[in-house]
Amino acid sequence: MCGIVGLHLRSPDLHPLLGELLTGMVCEMQDRGADSAGVAVYGDPRWSPPGHVAVSFVPDPSLLTLSTGVEVEALAAELSLDLASPVAVVDAGPTLVAHVVESAGVDALRASVLAAFPDALIAGFGADVAVLKGVGHPRDLAEAYGLADAQGWQGVGHTRMATESAVNAGGCHPYAVGLDQCLVHNGSFSNHATIRRDLRARGAVFDSENDTEVGARFVADRLAAGYDVETALKELCGTFDGFYTLLVSDSRSFAVVRDAIACKPAVIAETDDWVAMASEYRALVGLPGIESARLYEPEPERIYAWTR
Amino acid sequence: MDSLKDPLKDPLLDPVSDSVRHLDLTEVPLRSVNALLHGREVDDLPMLTPGEDVVLSHPQGAHAVAVGLDSPRQVRIEGHVGYYAAGMNQRADVVISGNAGVGVAENMMSGSVTVLGNASQAAGATAHGGLLVVHGDAAARCGISMKGVDIVVGGSIGHMSAFMAQAGRLVVRGDAGDALGDSIYEARLYVRGEVASLGADCVAKQMRPEHHEELAALLKAAGYEDDDTGAYTRYGSARELYHFDVDNAY
């Protein structure tokens, strides 16, 4: 069992409230898993300011603490020197987020981070997304991330009850393996080893033994090949065996899909101001206007996608 | 939901008893509410008198609301509930004014549970008796392993409904999803709309006079007495799966 939540804000008036709303949603899902929790936030001015590219990373993934212990000012100076461009490093508890002006390039920033911390787990990267991961109770993690103060147009969260791989940052969702992409999963894939082998043969490099990472890298592989998210998820349904409710997002889109058996729960709520998805309705009760939202459960193997 | 009964005229929603206890789930913990409903004393809250009706407000999707009731009582839940609402019900009549999560009225023994909105998967699972009415749609696995309950769904039901259904009746005014009645035993299914596909050993059967009569009584009990029973098709077991057949042995 795991809990997943997502919020796609249509109304810019709500952008300043994203973190507060997402915190309530993630914390309500703590009963579905409390060994780790991760979030992805699109458009936060602290973590991914406009005109910048950001890399979110866990410097030492073997640590299970709420803080990295890294001196961020010194690290920022080191990365700035390396890139010859001013880099900011934001302390978000167990994850750090480095950002630099877009022209410096996200690949260069990522390489620079990995030069400083060769064992670092890259949690996410892109122009818009910050991905925060950690081990611990969702409520403690939300506080350590500073999630309540986050702003932006879209957020995704996951509370984990581990079944398929170790409880560490590498096993923590979201999996954000492509530019501004992000995937969270409730369920388990049963044929992930076979698909991982195929993807490795095509050049993919994995950070963990986690089943969901295989799903994320599969989607990233198909998107890189030019598929749109709907086609990529259709192919995922035909390729992956197992149980899943998935929430897949990038800077522009937000999509939900469930397996054919659909035993993993999902509720979607929509108003003119937002689209939200959660494992259970109770995660949605704090959203403004929920009383009049259109509520429904996604049908099995049907892809629901929204774009901005 | 053309002939959805008017909630205002529903006796379950308009308790005639003078004595109605209002409990707000944002103020009274769920465990205390359920203990009160079980006839137990809780902190400084007065015990419910026999037959005293209860209105629960602000359930906010909580799980296990009003589970395990075992005495005649009308309970109205105002809002959406989470998993297993009114599960294991005996003798009480529970109305949920919103949507219900997974497993509403699971393992009900008697009494009734009415959902005015939609129900998630496994509504009425394993229930032995009583009446479950869902005025909206019910999701996958509605009536899975039902053992004697009557279920009436105003809208449509999802896939794998009535899987291994052993006894009882399931009435669907809309459509049914894939694999209806897979591995069904002796439950009787009545569907007015389209059935996406039938599961193993489930077949359409003739509507004999006793079936029209039975269906009419169920529709009436759920407030849909104006439906034409002739518009429904009966489905049940072909009885080829659950008898031992030596040719199937290895």
Q: What is the pLDDT of residues A237-282, one digit of tens each?
A: 999 999 999 999 999 999 999 999 999 999 999 999 999 999 999 9
pTM: 0.93
Q: Which residues of B touch A263 (CB under 8 A)?
A: 121, 140
- The answer to whether residue B9 scores a pLDDT higher than 50 is no
The confidence score (pLDDT) of residue B218 equals 98
Mean pLDDT of A119-128: 98
pLDDT of residue B248: 67
The tens digit of pLDDT for each residue in A174-185 reads 999 999 999 999
d(CA B188, CA B180): 12
Residue of A nearest to B161 (CA): A261
Measured over the CA atoms of residue B46, residue B48, residue B54 and residue B58, the dihedral's sign is positive
Per-residue pLDDT tens over the stretch B190-239: 999 999 999 999 999 999 999 999 999 999 999 999 999 999 999 999 99
Mark yes or no for CB contact A265/B60 under 8 Å: no
Q: What is the pLDDT of residue B179?
A: 97
Confidence at residue B242, expressed as pLDDT on a 0 to 100 scale: 77
CB-CB neighbors (< 8 A) of B139 in chain A: 262, 297
Those residues with Cβ within 8 angstroms of residue B158's Cβ, 6 or more apart along the chain or in another chain: A262, B121, B137, B138, B139, B140, B141, B142, B177
- The answer to whether A280 contacts B101, with C-beta atoms less than 8 Å apart, is yes
CATH topology of domain B59-241: Pectate Lyase C-like (2.160.20)
CA B12/CA B8 separation, integer angstroms: 9
Which residues of chain B lie closer than 8 angstroms to A284, CB-CB? 61
B159–A285 CB contact, under 8 Å: no
B101 chain-A contacts, CB cut-off 8 A = 265, 280-281
Chain B (156-185) residues lying within 8 Å, Cβ to Cβ, of chain A: 158-160
pLDDT tens for residues B156-179? Answer: 999 999 999 999 999 999 999 999
Contact B60 A282 (CB under 8 A): yes
B86 CB contacts (<8 Å, ≥6 apart)? B65, B66, B67, B69, B75, B92, B94, B96, B104, B105, B108, B113
Q: Give the residue-averaged pLDDT of A42-59.
A: 98
Lowest mean pLDDT among A160-164, A198-202, A209-213, B169-173: A160-164
What's the distance, Cα to Cα, between the start and end of chain B in Å?
A: 50
The answer to whether B60 faces chain A, any CB pair under 8 Å, is yes
Contact state of B121 with A284 under an 8 Å Cβ cutoff: no
Contacts by B112-118, CB closer than 8 A, 24 or more apart = B112/B12, B113/B85, B113/B86, B113/B89, B114/B10, B114/B12, B116/B7, B117/B80, B118/A295, B118/A296, B118/A297, B118/B155
Residues in chain B: 250
- Please list the residues that pair with B75 across neighbouring strands: B54, B94
Residue to mutate among B159, B161, B163, with most A CBs inside 10 A, is B159
pLDDT score at B2: 41
Domain boundaries, chain B: 59-241
Peptide bond into A174 cis (omega under 30): yes
**Residue B93: pLDDT band with limits 50, 70, 90:** very high
| Shortest Cα distance, chain B CAs vs residue A284, angstroms | 9
Contact A297 B120 (CB under 8 A): yes
- Minimum distance, in Å, between the CA of residue A259 and any CA atom of chain B: 12
Q: Where would I find the H helices in A125-210?
A: 138-145, 192-201
pLDDT-wise least confident of B4-8, B86-90, B199-203: B4-8
Does A3-307 carry CATH code 3.40.50.300?
no
- For chain A, which residues lie within 8 Å of any Cβ of chain B, measuring from their own Cβ? 261-263, 265, 280-285, 295-297, 300
Query: At B18, is the pLDDT very low, low, confident or very high (cuts 50, 70, 90)?
Result: low
CB-CB neighbors (< 8 A) of B82 in chain A: 280-282
Per the model's pLDDT, the better-predicted residue between A189 and B14 turns out to be: A189
Sign of the torsion formed by the C-alpha atoms of B63, A210, A42 and A149: positive
Q: What angle do CA A81, A83, A89 make, to 5 degrees?
A: 75
Q: Which residues of A are catalytic?
A: 2
Closest chain A residue by Cα to residue B79: A291
Query: pLDDT, tens digit, for every residue of B229-245?
Result: 999 999 999 998 877 77
pLDDT score, position A165: 87
Distance from CA of A6 to the nearest CA of B (A): 17
pLDDT in tens, A219-230: 999 999 999 999
